[in-house]
């Protein structure tokens, strides 16, 4: 039976940096078990309110017995009530979680609006029996348990999930706060992700830090989920390979996610379950945004499905068609964008691989793809790798 630890409501003016460091050290050195830390207090910015907040800590097998069970999904902070969006950190390696937490705490604008929950679990007898894939089984089991705690026990209505080897951008919290209303109102969306699978330096436009897309591919790696979607997924949650399972048509159900041009997360861990050579070839070169974008002050209505689809398809299919050789040799003429067409699974994979973008497909959906179209930058020019005009649906045999 796991134990849950909470650190909640610490007053940044009364708890010294040394005390916070001591709390972290105790957790990092603790015996291997499942932990929960609701970090309302790991916040040292002077602008945070200090009224009536004290540090408390408790351990229990039932969360409500701790006396700190927060059911508020909205808080009034200097104006209208604002939604509380907790950050769930799925942790295994306590060495990497230190870096992950430090960045989250550095960029977090409000401890009340963004409680940080850390769930740590690396040992489980049943999943350990699946020796070849035991890491995948552990992670899937852990996700299910942790998300149930967030939604069922703590009664939150949304959550942003990060793993312990992710570093976040300065506008990470701003990004998710701005997109929560759209995620709630658009039934054809089912997640918001901070990740661009093709977001390597040289493949994104550094001048368009505010550019966002719809994508049919579930990106993960820092993503927001709503309670009602979890209630749909939880009864059939898989024993392993949860992210690929999310990409199956039965789960996606023609819904899209929002993703950025420039990633708001960066993975720094090479030792994860599915990294190694993949990390060395792709992930280490992902560009992390460093410029704060005030997303909550921007008009994001262009991301609504009907509006976005019309604008996106008009831009893609009005772009001049070019050949692979012209793109590869950097001979594109004009301001762009340009369209490079594929018509078969093999032609897509060859073009993608030779151009340096991700070439894998999940049930026919390419990474970052929207209606079969993959957007990327080649030598400073926008290129759309696209199916022929009139595209209607994905071929699920393309995998």
Please list the helix, strand and coil fractions of the chain in percent, rounded to the nearest 5, in that order: 35, 20, 45
Q: For residues 63 and 95, what is the distance between their CA atoms, to the nearest angstrom? A: 26
**356, burial (CB in 10 Å: exposed 0-12, middle 13-18, buried 19+):** middle
Q: What is the DSSP letter of 200?
A: B
Distance between CA atoms of 14 and 384, rounded to whole angstroms?
A: 54
CA distances from 272 to 160, 269, 282 (A): 20, 6, 14
Instruction: Give the CA distances from residue 149 to residues 19, 119, 215, in Å, rounded to whole numbers and listed in that order.
Output: 28, 10, 29
Residue 12 DSSP SS3? coil
Of the residues 78, 243, 299, 360, only one is catalytic, namely 243
Strand pairing report for 265-267 and 166-168? antiparallel
Strand partners, 88: 117, 161
- Joined together, the tokens standing for residue 192 give 């918001």
Catalytic annotation on 243? yes
How far apart CA 114 and CA 104 sit, in angstroms, is 10
Report the DSSP pairing between strands 212-215 and 256-260.
antiparallel
Nearest Cα to Cα of residue 258 among 287, 222, 206: 222
Token duo for residue 380 = 């400073």
Query: Is the separation of the CB atoms in 193 and 163 below 8 Å?
Result: no
Residues taking part in catalysis: 243
């Amino acid at each position: 039976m796991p134990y849950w630890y909470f650190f909640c409501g610490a007053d940044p003016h009364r708890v010294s940096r040394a005390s916070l460091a001591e709390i972290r050290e105790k957790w990092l050195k603790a015996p291997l078990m499942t932990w929960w830390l609701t970090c309302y207090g790991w916040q040292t910015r002077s602008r945070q309110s200090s009224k009536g907040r004290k540090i408390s800590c408790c351990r229990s097998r039932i969360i409500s017995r701790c006396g700190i069970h927060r059911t508020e999904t909205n808080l009034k902070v200097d104006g209208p009530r604002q939604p509380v969006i907790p950050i769930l950190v799925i942790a295994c390696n306590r060495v990497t979680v230190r870096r992950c937490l430090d960045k989250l705490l550095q960029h977090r604008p409000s401890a009340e609006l963004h409680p940080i929950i850390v769930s740590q679990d690396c040992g489980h007898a049943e999943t350990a029996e699946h020796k070849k894939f035991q890491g995948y089984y552990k992670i899937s089991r852990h996700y299910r348990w942790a998300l149930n705690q967030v939604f069922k026990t703590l009664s939150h209505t949304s959550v942003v999930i990060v793993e312990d080897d992710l570093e976040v951008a300065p506008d990470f919290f701003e990004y998710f706060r701005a997109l929560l209303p759209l995620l709630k109102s658009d039934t054809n969306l089912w997640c918001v992700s901070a990740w661009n699978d093709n977001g390597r330096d040289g493949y994104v436009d550094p001048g368009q830090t505010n550019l966002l897309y719809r994508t049919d591919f579930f990106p993960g790696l820092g993503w927001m989920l709503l309670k009602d979607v979890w209630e749909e997924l939880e009864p059939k949650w898989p024993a392993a390979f949860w992210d690929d399972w999310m990409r199956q048509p039965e789960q996606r159900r023609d819904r899209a996610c929002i993703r950025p041009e420039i990633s708001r997360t960066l993975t720094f861990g090479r030792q994860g379950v599915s990294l190694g050579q993949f990390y060395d070839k792709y992930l280490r070169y992902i560009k992390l945004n460093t410029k704060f974008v005030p997303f909550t002050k921007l008009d994001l209505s262009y991301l609504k499905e009907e509006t976005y689809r019309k604008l996106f398809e008009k831009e893609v299919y009005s772009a001049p068609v070019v050949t692979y050789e012209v793109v590869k040799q950097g001979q594109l003429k004009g301001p762009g964008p340009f369209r490079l067409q594929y018509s078969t699974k093999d032609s897509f994979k060859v073009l993608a691989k030779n151009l340096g973008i991700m070439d894998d497909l999940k049930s026919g959906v390419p990474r970052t793809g929207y209606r079969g179209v993959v957007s990327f930058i080649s030598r400073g020019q926008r290129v759309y790798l696209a199916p022929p005009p009139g595209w209607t649906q994905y071929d699920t045999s393309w995998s």
